[in-house]
Amino acid sequence: AQRDRLRVLANRLGLLVTGSSDYHGAGKPNVLGENLTDPAVLAAIEERGSMPVVRP
């Protein structure tokens, strides 16, 4: 439920949603690669990064 609300907020603000697993080795509950950023979002990041800088 919280992730859904945050995704809606990010979309409303025109933000890209990224997320990957935060892995620091054995003894932690998360597994390397359990959360990945969607390839479409990576493409959008690349596209936005290639836009010219807009200055006021």
Whether 5 shows a pLDDT value over 80: the answer reads yes
Token pair listed for 2: 């919280």
Binned at pLDDT 50, 70 and 90, residue 15 comes out as very high
User: What DSSP character marks residue 6?
Assistant: H
Please tell me the predicted confidence (pLDDT) of residue 23: 66
Share of the chain above pLDDT 90, in %: 29
Query: Quick check: helix, strand or coil at residue 42?
Result: helix
